[in-house]
């Protein structure tokens, strides 16, 4: 009975995110480690000098998870102020919040979850050559504190990936 409220909120949020005029199309990618340990059955190994997490690995590929809709959740938040307080232009390391919804419905085949450390591209137009902007999910918060949760994705810019993930990196 209690999960009827967040389930309804999730359904409404999905409808709003998909139909909102400020919503973007987004391609979601997930990092996959290429380095493996034959003794562990091919599973990636952790270790080596100065490797702290899977984000520090150099041998990776990017796998396309699918398409999603992304709606900026802070449409009216400004950037950081300059020292003289005469401009608010942001510093590039600013955190943003997005409401995101994968294209497939909840029980449909091809449904995926957007997770921490995923990278997504906001597609700014139509066609294969449309410009896109890269973001990385750095944290996931809950808008409603009852399961099933309504996630809010905290993201930062990934300027280094703005030119796109090449076919060598994505395994295509």
Report cis status (omega within 30 of 0) of the bond before 67.
no
Q: What local confidence, expressed as pLDDT, does residue 20 receive?
A: 93
Q: Which helix (DSSP H) or strand (DSSP E) does residue 26 occupy?
A: strand 24-33
Question: Would the pTM count as exceeding 0.85?
Answer: no
Write down the residue that tokens 């309504």 correspond to: 150
Q: CA–CA distance from 171 to each of 29, 61, 144 (Å)? A: 11, 6, 37
Residues of the chain with pLDDT under 70: 1-2, 36-57, 75-93, 164-172
Q: Is 124 helix (H, G, I), strand (E, B) or coil?
A: coil
Report the first-to-last Cα separation within the chain, whole angstroms: 45
């Amino acid at each position: 009975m209690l999960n009827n409220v967040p389930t309804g909120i999730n359904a409404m949020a999905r409808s709003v995110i998909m139909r909102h005029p400020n919503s973007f199309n987004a391609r979601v990618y997930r990092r996959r480690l290429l380095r493996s340990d034959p003794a562990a059955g091919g599973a990636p190994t952790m270790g080596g000098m100065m490797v702290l997490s899977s984000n520090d690995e150099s041998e990776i590929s990017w796998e396309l998870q699918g398409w999603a809709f992304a709606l900026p959740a802070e449409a009216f938040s400004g950037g950081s102020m300059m020292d003289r307080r005469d401009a608010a232009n942001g510093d590039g390391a600013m955190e943003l919040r997005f409401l995101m919804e994968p294209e497939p419905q909840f029980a449909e085949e091809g449904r995926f979850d957007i997770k921490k450390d995923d990278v997504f591209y906001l597609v700014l137009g139509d066609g294969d050559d449309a410009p896109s902007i890269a973001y990385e999910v750095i944290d996931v918060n809950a808008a409603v504190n009852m399961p099933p949760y309504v996630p809010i994705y905290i993201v930062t810019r990934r300027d280094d990936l703005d030119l796109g993930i090449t076919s060598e990196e994505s395994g295509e």
